Amino acid sequence: MKNRKQAVNPYLPNWEYIPDGEPYVFDGRVYIYGSHDQYDGEVFCLRDYVCWSAPVDDLGNWHYEGVIYPKTADPYNSDGHMCLYAPDVTQGPDGRYYLYYVLDKVSVVSVAVSDKPAGPFEFYGYVHYEDGTKLGDRPGDEPQFDPGVLTEGGKTYLYTGFCGQGDRSRSGAQFTVLGRDMLTVLEAPRIIAPGSCYSQGTGFEGHAFFEAPSIRKVGARYYFIYSSEVMHELCYATADAPQGPYTYGGVLISNCDLHIDSYKRADQPTAPGANNHGSIVQIGKDWYVFYHRHTAGHWYSRQGCAEKIQILEDGSIPQVELTSCGLNGGALKDVGEYPAYIACNLYSPNAEIYVQPTEPKIVQEYGTTGRETSYIKGITEGTVIGFKYFDLQDVTGLRIRTKGYFDGTFELTSKPDGEILGSVTAISSNIWTAFEGAFTPKNGIGAIYLRYRGSGIAHLKSIECLHED
């Protein structure tokens, strides 16, 4: 495709905050469903459900489908006092599309329906037993949370649950079977993956179920994807049938890149980690994992990202590292100005696994439209900023745009602690100001890292590779 747009992480515009991403391909387009955060919001999921979609052969060209379901559409929430938590979508036996979700202050599963994948959806009902009692309300039921759904053979398989560490009242991930009406329980919930209080001696120990259940079928194998007890990682388990038994498989991705040892120590976090939620999808011949990252220095402004994965012949999926190029199908071109917010690594010498408000962060500029640009704020001595990957060819320098009260040098490397390949000296400015420096990386696919050495606090808007004229 001649006019194919490059894809980056986050894959949606910088001003959009869609975490908990559930990706699906319908009729040649990728649709992303998720909850909807507000930039610099006080809690999770403050906004209505919206949908974005992209052609399967142009994954940098996302289209806004609009609001597909307002939070006031649920009869329990006509005054809007509750939030719409993470949803999932499945196509029913009747060909319609069903949206499953849970509100933040009730423990039952709500369902909405639409004739089209991009909605609009209308409230349809609550998942219930044959006697009309809602799932989650019957004595002995564990609270419902984060529904994931898969429909095949006239039945819908519903996966739900939340298990906080130390809470023995929550057993694990629940599996429930629904009938053709998409609402009525045919088989009552059973536990298919243990929470942390019940994982000792199982294959899930250390990576027990926490939240974010999602389900996919790959060939004849079922993949149960979930957020583990440490929160920042998405894990998977596999089975030969929807109900299991499920065998723990491993970590798909960590949003602080823990466990990855290809470019740093395995125990070193290189991005602000926190909760995670997502799933996998096949787009063309390739498989991807969708997940979310954290911005604004807290947990409540999350953005969707994606990475290419490999499903090996034995069904295992090796953990993949965070990148800036995500859905691009390869490295980014080394031509043009790139916004700093696509950085996949961002940390200081004081960084811990979980997001900290005092650390360098990705923020959005103040304005009245809500669509202002984003940048990296709060760069101090020793801060490392990483962009992966570029197709670097005959690069001779780097141009950066900065502002803030500071005086120092950005060392340029191809690894976080790698050899210095160049530098850019920059000084204080009240407006975005360009500075340039020599930079000679090796030709080929590589990363660009900036490591700040100096005083004060700097902010970074963009980077641009330079070449000889």
Gap between the terminal Cα atoms of the chain: 29
Which residue shows structure tokens 């905050």? 17
Neighbours of 293 (CB within 10 A): 24
How far, CA to CA in Å, does 351 sit from each of 232, 302, 358? 15, 19, 10
For 123, the token pair is: 């409230």
Phi, psi for 308 (deg, rounded to 5): -75, 140
Residue 104 CA to its chain's centroid (Å): 20
Ramachandran class of 418: left when φ > 0, alpha when ψ lies in -120 to 50, beta otherwise: beta
Q: Is 211 part of the annotated catalytic residue set?
A: yes
Q: Exposed, middle or buried by CB within 10 Å (0-12, 13-18, 19+), for 302? A: buried
Are the C-beta atoms of residues 326 and 7 closer than 8 Å to each other?
yes
Q: Choose, from 16, 141, 142, 211, the residue flagged as catalytic.
A: 211
Q: Exposed, middle or buried by CB within 10 Å (0-12, 13-18, 19+), for 161? A: buried
* 3-state SS record for 287-333: EEEEEEEECCCCCCCEEEEEEEECCCCCCCCCCCCCCCCHHHCCCEE
For 415, the token pair is: 């690894």
Q: How far apart are CA 7 and CA 302, in angstroms?
A: 18
The three-class DSSP label of residue 222 is: strand
Q: How far apart are CA 436 and CA 465, in angstroms?
A: 10
Return the DSSP state at 153: T
Length of the chain: 469
Q: Is 267 part of the annotated catalytic residue set?
A: no
Neighbours of 284 (CB within 10 A): 10
Are the C-beta atoms of residues 451 and 413 closer than 8 Å to each other?
yes
Q: Choose, from 20, 22, 146, 257, the residue flagged as catalytic.
A: 20
Q: Which residues are catalytic, by number?
A: 20, 211
